[in-house]
Chains A and B, each alone.
Chain A
Amino acid sequence: MTGIASHTVRPGHAGLTAALGLLILLLIWETGARALSDSYILAAPSEVLVWLRDNRGLMARALTQTLTNAAMGFAAGNLAAIALAGVALVWPGAQRTIMGLALLVFCLPLVATGPILRVLLGPGNGPQIWLAALAVYYTTLIPLLVGLRAAPSVWLDLIRSYGRGRGAELIYVRARAALPYLFAGLQIATPAAFLGAMVGEFTGAERGMGVLTTRFIRAMDVPAVWALASVAAAVSILAYAAIGWLAKAVLRDKPPIILALPPARSAHGTRDALLVCVLALLLWWGLMQGLGLSRFFAKRPGDVFDALFLAPDAAETRMVLLDALIQTIIYVVPGYLAGLALGAGLAVLLILAPALAAVAMPVAVALRSVPIVTTAPLIVLALGRGALGTTTLVAIMVFFPSFVACLHGLRQAPGQIMDVFDSYAAGPISRLIHVRIPAMLPAFFAAARMSVPAAILAVTVIEWLATGRGIGSLMALSASLSDYDMLWASVVAVALLSVLCHAAVAMLERRVLRVFAAEQAVT
């Protein structure tokens, strides 16, 4: 192999370089904090440590609570993902519908489902666990579906040639072949579960790190806010690393960096989408009816339609909703595009300077596992409650997954083609343009697609917690005013927006990949 591979650090050195990267990060942080010591923005690592020492009892209780909720949600969400993947395997015809519904549910804004679950489930840990489960099941389901179909068909032929059927295929081949994919999904799910639990706690729990976060933001206790975010980050990184370690022990290989399934083009795209919509409406209605929930807060599809189109104040409701939605779009689009561009740009830069990549990569992978949204309060502290803070948070949310995916994609450049370029003594720029960037495109688009719900989650959380604008704020306001018509209408609007953006990126992806990566595009 050429290029970066020859510079890749050996396993023994990887930990060392990562530690070095972390140390540099801490130093920059400490210096920055000392420089800005009077501005109530940044708490230095030393201050964070002091705060943690002084408040260790409080912190330990909150952490235990949040971890318990996250772990329960993690288990529930991943079991649901495994069950859904199982249904898709047994009944392949249902896979599109399952994926469509799963995406739609994943696109429900946690910010609104939180308060709704709070009303439905009452006080206690229910909403936190549910939100953690909702935050993880999709990121496990997608790699698992890929993994269960990843086994070469000849392995399945082998099983069949000995006269055995689908059961034996699953036991001896598919289940084991899917394990690396499952672990990759579980790894991504760990920070997501923590994030879900914290968002659940934002919605009015009694204890937990989310509760402390909202309390200290109101009190402008800068070291406390930084301490909470640092602990959330550290716990997530450790959990992420623990799953990685477990995977290594079980598989004897590192889990692969899995990119989402490239969406297959369907001959019946419109029909499938309609089916998903109808099923989603039926499921929604059936759930509310089946549980016998009060129409006052548990709105049915018909109620939302009434509120938006038939009620006397329908025009005004639509207006308010549309206004908020447009405001959110204005914030989320630049952040989303900036995050993608920065991620891809930095990855390209690091490919040209491989020595730098050895230091930056472990740090980026570690930071990718930070539940970014839990750092929302910090960004508000640092950049204010305006457009800059919001855009920055969205950009950061999108940046890390795209950076890691792009770097991975750039390294996927086929060795033999690189050898051909080497034999013509082609320079690094020429190799980059002709080989590496085309090889990166599938990874780039997979990240772009998966970042859509993440970006919308980020923008709604920050609007809700801080800026007081846009759809996130509207949802918070509606929840506190018990305006459940508006709340449910917002949920529908945000979910639709996410799904439509997701579909738009997927469409662009298919067009580009058909040209640049024909063998990787699923047609």
Chain B
Amino acid sequence: MAAEQPFGDPPPQITCAGLSKSFAGGMQVLAPLDLTIAAGRTTALVGPSGCGKSTLLRLIAGLAEPSAGSIGIGGVSPAQMRRSGAISMAFQDPSLLPWRTVRSNIALAQKLVRQPADPAAVDHLIDLVGLTGFGDTRPAALSGGMRQRAAIARALITRPRLLLLDEPFGAVDELTRRQLAQELPRLWEPQGTTTLLVTHSVDEAVLLADRVLVLSPRPARVVADIAITLPRPREPLVIHRAEFRELAAEISAALAEGAGQPPSQAAE
């Protein structure tokens, strides 16, 4: 499986310099942003809804063009990185193709980046995301959470050097979410993947990330940069530990401060 066959090239570092984005009509989504995201680590972007997190992810994926500034991923542009097939992205919407089964949706990603088909790896991932027995099911017959897990499996099958996750656990139930949060890092850590996770769940960020960047409301700027030093692997129950709660409280306070509210209100 993936872990035994690390991708040839090392995971890339991401550097954003003076990055900003405005939409037609002049709405500024990102203020000029300078950011370095470490290679091979998991970084979480946390911020209020509509603050521009998803836009930042789309810019890094090369799916949108910045209005100003630049992005370098391992020394190349997002578009070049994307064309090399080294990026995988899991969208907010699972966006499974409804006419393909779970298995063939996952296998499609390999086909798109021109990797040889690997049915054994597909089946292994299906088991891992808890969809055993649903390989031949079409998305319409799955629950929202199951669809999102299939989309995560699809994002992982290509062993990407850069993994972009846009609120991938939105529709996953709490129990499964914790389970996945424990399992998934095991998948992408050994193969050396730079992971960027967008979420508005503080707990999810602390559970998954090595570093949490807190963004302000639109236009987004970084209001806090918090290192998560909890040891790995992190068991689901880690969220009840005092260190975990302290980190979560720190992030919540930064979120509230960024939004212009007194921190006391945010702790509630």
Cα A152 to Cα B91 with chains together (Å): 12
Chain B 81-109 interface 0/1 with A at a Cβ cutoff of 8 Å (1 = within): 01111111101010101010000000011
The answer to whether A318 has its CB under 8 Å from any CB of chain B is no
Contact of A176 (CB < 8 Å), options: B85, B99, B158, B164: B99
List the A side residues contacting B93 at CB < 8 Å: 152, 154
Q: Tell which of B85, B95, B99 touches A162, judged by Cβ atoms closer than 8 Å.
A: B85
- In the bound complex, residues from chain B placing their C-beta under 8 Å from that of A162 are 82, 85, 87-88, 109, 112-113, 158
CB pair B63–A159 under 8 Å, yes or no, is no
Measured between alpha carbons, how far is A173 from B113 in the docked complex, in Å?
16
Pair A172/B99 contact, Cβ less than 8 Å: no
B-facing residues in A406-445 (Cβ within 8 Å): none
Answer whether residue A507 sits at the interface, using C-beta atoms and an 8 A cutoff. Answer: no
- CB contact list, A161-195 vs B, under 8 A: 161-164, 168, 172-173, 176
How many chain B residues have a CB neighbour from A under 8 Å?
Answer: 23
Inter-chain contact A158/B83, CB cutoff 8 Å: no
Complex alpha-carbon distance, A163 and B82, angstroms: 4
Residues of B48-106 contacting chain A, CB below 8 A? 58, 61-63, 82-89, 91, 93, 95, 97, 99
Determine whether A316 belongs to the interface, using a CB cutoff of 8 Å to chain B: no
Which residues of chain A are within 8 angstroms of B113 by Cβ–Cβ distance? 162-163
Residues of chain A within 8 A of B62, CB atoms compared: 160
A329–B63 Cα gap in the complex (Å)?
Answer: 53
- CB of A260, distance to nearest CB on chain B (Å): 24
**Given A160-B82, A162-B82, 6 more pairs with CB closer than 8 A:** A155-B95, A158-B89, A160-B62, A161-B87, A162-B113, A172-B97
The residues of B that contact A159 with a CB separation of less than 8 Å are 112
**Top-7 shortest CB links A-B:** A162-B112, A163-B83, A161-B89, A154-B95, A163-B82, A163-B85, A154-B93
A157 within 8 Å of B (CB atoms)? yes
A157 vs B88: C-alpha distance when bound (angstroms): 11
Distance between Cα atoms of A159 and B164 in the complex (Å): 14
User: Chain B's nearest CB lies how many Å from the CB of A173?
Assistant: 7
* Chain A to chain B contacts (Cβ below 8 Å), 26 pairs: A152-B95, A154-B91, A154-B93, A154-B95, A155-B95, A155-B97, A157-B91, A159-B112, A160-B62, A161-B63, A161-B82, A161-B88, A162-B82, A162-B87, A162-B113, A162-B158, A163-B83, A163-B112, A163-B113, A164-B112, A172-B97, A172-B108, A172-B112, A173-B97, A176-B97, A251-B99
Residues of B within 8 A of A157 (CB): 58, 63, 89, 91, 95
Residues of chain B within 8 A (CB-CB) of A158 are: 89, 91, 95
**A interface residues, how many (CB within 8 angstroms):** 16
Closest residue on chain B to residue A151 by CB atoms: B97
Question: How many contacts between A and B, using CB within 8 angstroms?
Answer: 51
Closest to A179 in B: B99
Instruction: List B contacts of A152 (CB < 8 A).
Output: 93, 95
Contact residues in A for B158 (Cβ distance below 8 Å)? 162
Chain A, 481-506, CB within 8 A of any chain B CB: none
- Please measure, in the bound complex, the distance between the C-alpha atom of A155 and the C-alpha atom of B94, giving whole angstroms: 9
Q: How far is the CA of A286 from the CA of B137 in the complex (A)?
A: 55
A18 to B39 alpha-carbon distance, docked (Å): 65
Cα of A146 to Cα of B214 in the assembled complex, Å: 41
How far, in whole Å, are A152 and B95 apart by their CA atoms in the complex? 8
Q: Which residues of B are found within 8 Å of A251, using beta-carbon distances? A: 99
Q: Is the CB of A168 within 8 A of B112?
A: yes
Closest chain A residue to B111, Cβ basis: A172
In the assembled complex, how far is the CB of residue A57 from the closest CB belonging to chain B, in whole angstroms?
46
Residue of A nearest to B93 (CB): A154
Compute how far the CA of A161 lies from the CA of B164 in the bound complex, rounded to whole angstroms.
10
Minimal beta-carbon separation of B33 from chain A (angstroms): 21
Output the residue of A157, A168, A173, A176 with the most chain B CB within 10 A: A157
B90 nearest CB across to chain A (Å): 9
B88 neighbours in A (Cβ, 8 Å): 161-162
Instruction: Determine the distance from Cα of A162 to Cα of B85 in the docked complex, in whole angstroms.
Output: 5
Contact partner of A163 (CB less than 8 A), chosen from B58, B87, B91, B95, is B87
Rounded to whole angstroms, the CA-CA distance of A176 and B108 in the bound complex is 14
Bound form: Cα–Cα A96–B106 in Å: 37
Assembled-state Cα–Cα distance A159/B105 (Å): 12
Q: Which of A155, A161, A164 contacts B61 (CB 8 A)?
A: A161
What B residues does A176 contact at CB under 8 A? 97, 99
CA distance in complex: A459, B200 (Å): 63
